[in-house]
Amino acid sequence: MIHIREIDHIVLRVVDAAAMEHFYCKVLGCKVERRQEEIGLIQLRAGRCLLDLVPVDGKLGRMGGAAPGAEGRNLDHVCFRVEPFDEAAILGELAAAGVAAGPVASRYGAEGEGPSIYLNDPEGNTVELKGPAWS
């Protein structure tokens, strides 16, 4: 049997790589781990997992068809486990970055029921920030 531990990586096909890199690095704290310009791939470190950005006009991106948009998304949402989960601090940082966030709600995740916040990145992909399970 295969045992999945956690998200390894998520791949997003993107239209504006610079805006997406800024959002994920400056707003959510990811770091650029490596770039493969020849194939069109930017790999961001997101805690213990990677978030790959693939520009739709690059070699890899062109293989995926139409660009993401309101009529067709390439991902429902990506959920990042956040530690510590300080609701006020997270909402404050998002607001300071001009990012609208939904209300904190209790949702089920890999560790059980606990707090989470939904928001959208610059290209409309839904991002969930998840806290620990309730005690």
Supply the pLDDT for residue 21.
Answer: 98
* Pick from 125, 121, 82: nearest CA to 104: 82
Supply the pLDDT for residue 67.
Answer: 83
Supply the pLDDT for residue 2.
Answer: 66
pTM (two decimals): 0.82
- Out of 3.10.180.10, 3.90.850.10, 3.40.630.40, 3.30.70.920, the CATH code matching 9-130 is 3.10.180.10
* Whole-angstrom distance, CA of residue 125 vs CA of residue 112: 24
Contact status, residue 51 vs residue 12, Cβ threshold 8 Å:
yes
Per-residue pLDDT of the chain (135 residues; tens, 9 = 90+): 768 788 989 999 999 999 999 999 999 999 999 999 999 999 999 998 999 999 999 898 888 888 877 777 788 799 999 999 999 999 999 999 999 999 999 998 989 999 999 999 998 889 999 999 998
Domain borders along the chain are: 9-130
